[in-house]
Structure 1
Amino acid sequence: MGTIWDVRQGRQVDEQTLLAELSQARFVLLGERHDNPDHHRLQARLVEALTGSGRKPALAFEMLDVEQQSAVDAALSREPGNPDAIAQAVAWEQSGWPDWSLYRPIFAVGTGRGLRIVGANLPRAQVKELVMRGLDALPPETRTRLGLETPLPEDVARAMRAEMHESHCGHLPEPMLEPMVLAQRARDAQMADILRTTASDDGAVLITGAGHARTDRGVPAQLARLAPGLPVRSLAFLEVSSEAREPRDYAPPDSPGGLPYDYVWFTPASEREDPCAVFRKAPAPEKSPGK
């Protein structure tokens, strides 16, 4: 299904070549569009292939947070091999993530292979506190561990603010851009730290959004800081567009170096409503004084 592109080599590869490369990595990131069923089917297929020889990497999810880990562990202790026990334990249907049926195939491979299922994300309440209060919302040890006291290079900070602006259809109030960037940084660093600390002898695989899988500033960049020298491979599933003809056309505007992944797997686009339509019905946000 779709073309697999080796970004560094600038060439198309087949699935077996991709698997051979991913199997050599300590950390593998599989970056998705959350509501695309094809992305989840391919993630499940890759996890199954990567563990077919008996390897047992930790299987971590952006969609689960660290405070849910005890509930996940307890559910699988009661019902080993039952992925639906996880959904019930974390109240998935009330979580705000896409329907459980999309993610179930990945969890099913994980539980069927006996992999440790890991919650990688910061709790939502903590992210909200971080947005509202800034670094004061986190203990000093956590701020240091996540590297949040080190300022971002201005070009990176500017690019991330622009990304937040665009992802919220231009309706995020300007004073909120910097706090949202801080939250994004914290989540990337948290997921990298969880991969580092929970990896088995066979490493770890992270199921996450494609934005978090960016090699230039996402979880891979944080892994380079926390676990220098350990091999990381990032694969993003990207939806094809009639407006883009070449792989380089899919590079984000703030990535002048090209696609910020090691590999890209191009897939059909899912049908969805325009996420910005709801904003067009509301008045534009007022600019801050002096802006």
Structure 2
Amino acid sequence: MPGADIFVLGEVHDNPTHHATQAGIVAQVQPLALVFEMLTPAQAAAAMTVDRTDAAAVATATGWADSGWPDFAMYAPIFAAAPGATIVGAAVPRDDMLRAMKEGAAAVSTSPVPPLTDAQLAVLSQEQAEAHCGALPPEMLPGMVEAQRLRDADFAGATLSAFDATGGPVVLITGTGHARTDVGVPAALRLARPDLKVWSLGQIEGAAEADAPFDAVAVTGVTDRPDPCATFTQ
């Protein structure tokens, strides 16, 4: 692992191999703060009150079963890998995302939002279209992109706050799309704090493009899951 102030570790949320890789990196880095996109600040505070090597206790404290995220058994080793780290929740409130879809991320976030080139906007729009199985009306895509950009900026803000509070290193656990160095959290971190060294891992299923925008890429097999687009074709 390279030395860095902040490590942005991407994942496909339901891929257990990705979480095992994250846990291994966390164990090696031993961050002073662990930031999760999956947790609200209240859930993170609750996680701090229990033994994080006790998976059942952490799951209960955070109300994970009702959160909508994949099985906590995949995430438990990440919590256990840094038992002394401060846990930080970076989840963005739904109302803020709805506002960003209407007003733009920059109008909602308290953190700097990186500008986009036309080419980057086109890439993000295409990613949103594919993520929603081509079922979204084209006029909805700009709003979805703005919601994504809000989350990037807010995840960066929560991570920087954790760094300032602890002195780092800090690890952010997030989706691989947010770990992109060109338009994701690393770009927002670079805009806000160019003095910090940020290292980004993109974990991708199946195959990765040669110029994938990450500092490192881990390619894994595809998790066996139901067809996410089946509901749109029935």
Structure 2 distance, partners of 1:72, 1:32, is: 19
Q: Aligned pair count?
A: 231
Note the residue ranges of structure 2 that are not aligned, 5 or more in a row.
Answer: none
Structure 2 partner of 1:198: 162
Letter in 2 for 1:165: A
1:100 positional shift? 1.1
TM-score w.r.t. the length of structure 1 is 0.73
The aligned counterpart of 2:196 is: 230
Q: How does 1:135-150 map to 2 (within 5 A)?
A: 135=104, 142-143=108-109, 145-148=110-113
The answer to whether the aligner puts 1:217 opposite 2:198 as a matched pair is no
Could you tell me which residue of structure 2 aligns to residue 186 of structure 1? 150
Call closer, same or farther: CA 1:70–1:274 in 2, change over 3 Å.
closer
Q: CA deviation at 1:74?
A: 4.1
1:154 aligns to 2:154 (yes or no) = no
In the alignment, structure 1 residue 117 sits paired with structure 2 residue 70: no
Where in structure 2 are the equivalents of 1:162-181 lying within 5 Å?
A: 162-181=126-145
2-structure distance, mates of 1:71, 1:273: 29
Residue of structure 2 in register with 1:126 after alignment? 96
Q: Say if 2:67 is the partner of 1:95.
A: yes
Deviation, 1:219, is 0.4
Cα separation, 1, equivalents of 2:25 and 2:180 = 19
1:60 to partner: Cα distance:
0.5
Distance 2:115 2:9 in 1: 28
On the 8 A contact 2:206/2:221 being kept in 1, the answer is: yes
**Secondary structure of 1:271's partner?**
coil
2:38 aligned to which of 63, 79, 83: 63
- The CA distance in 2 between the partners of 1:182 and 1:70, in whole Å, is 25
**What is the distance in 2 between the residues matched to 1:155 and 1:206?**
27
Do the aligned residues in 2 keep the contact of 1:189 with 1:219 (CA within 8 Å)?
Answer: yes
**Residues 217-262 of structure 1: CA distance to partner in whole angstroms, max 9, x if unpaired?**
0000011101113111111222235xxxxxxxx22xxxxx811111
Segments of 5+ residues of structure 1 without an aligned counterpart are: 1-18, 242-249, 252-256, 282-291
Report the CA distance between 1:102 and its aligned residue.
1.2
**1:50-98: CA deviations, max 9, x gaps?**
12xxxx4211111113xxx234324523x34445444223321111111
Contact kept, 8 Å, 2:51 with 2:58, in 1: the verdict is: no
Deviation at 1:175, TM superposition (A): 1.8
Q: Aligned AA for 1:64?
A: L
Give % identity. 41
Larger radius of gyration: 1
- Residues 43/151 of structure 1: CA separation in 2 closer, same or farther (3 Å cut): closer
2:229 maps to 276
Which one-letter code corresponds to 1:109 in the other structure? A
